[in-house]
């Protein structure tokens, strides 16, 4: 079946099988390999994307459910060759170690910041609660999100 949707600001019409997951379309049909598959069961958050403004696990979304939706992946945060302030904050605050969870973690945090540009530590921790990181201990991740939220020129306009 044919689905139409927008990914990172670009319109697509893709023929999909009824049993295909969104993560597979993003990774294998569109080449967006920043979307990682960890558990394949919605438990780890490595595959988190933003769909119509909400952080979702793309491994749990059937491709047909993306019909008419607007999707943002980690690749869509970069603008004109510049990293998103949140991506920069992750690097500057030591929030990236092995990097496997990083794209999903950033997307969960970005979804939060799009709704709440100045979250509390508790709100940040709640927003990333669905993302497992086995390397950092989360403190630097929270610190990075808070630093990005304090970015003087914002950088959190609607994508």
Walk me through the domains of the chain, giving residue ranges and CATH numbers. Answer: 2-76 (3.10.20.30), 85-149 (1.10.150.120)
End-to-end alpha-carbon separation of the chain, Å? 28
pLDDT value for 37:
96
Q: What is the mean pLDDT of the chain?
A: 93
User: Is residue 136 very low, low, confident or very high in pLDDT (cuts 50, 70, 90)?
Assistant: confident
* Nearest to 8, CA basis, from 72, 79, 83, 67: 72
Residue partners of 139: CB distance under 8 A and separation at least 6: none
Q: What is the DSSP letter of 69?
A: -
Query: Helices 85-92 and 102-115: crossing angle, nearest 10°?
Result: 130
Which pLDDT belongs to residue 156?
A: 43
Q: What's the pLDDT tens digit per position in 19-57?
A: 999 999 999 999 999 999 999 999 999 999 999 999 999
């Amino acid at each position: 079946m044919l689905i139409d949707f927008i990914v990172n600001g670009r319109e697509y019409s893709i023929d999909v099988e009824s049993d295909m997951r969104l993560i597979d379309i993003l990774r294998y049909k569109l080449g967006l390999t920043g979307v990682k598959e960890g558990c394949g069961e919605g438990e780890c958050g490595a595959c988190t994307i933003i769909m119509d403004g909400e952080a979702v696990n793309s491994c749990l979304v059937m491709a047909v459910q993306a019909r008419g939706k607007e999707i943002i992946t980690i690749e869509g945060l970069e603008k004109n060759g510049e990293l998103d302030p949140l991506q920069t904050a992750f690097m500057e605050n030591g929030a990236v170690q092995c990097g496997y969870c990083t794209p999903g973690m950033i997307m969960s945090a970005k979804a939060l910041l799009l709704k709440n540009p100045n979250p509390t530590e508790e709100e940040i921790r709640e927003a990333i609660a669905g993302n497992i990181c086995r390397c950092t201990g989360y403190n630097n991740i929270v610190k990075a999100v808070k630093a990005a939220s304090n970015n003087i020129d914002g950088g959190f306009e609607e994508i």
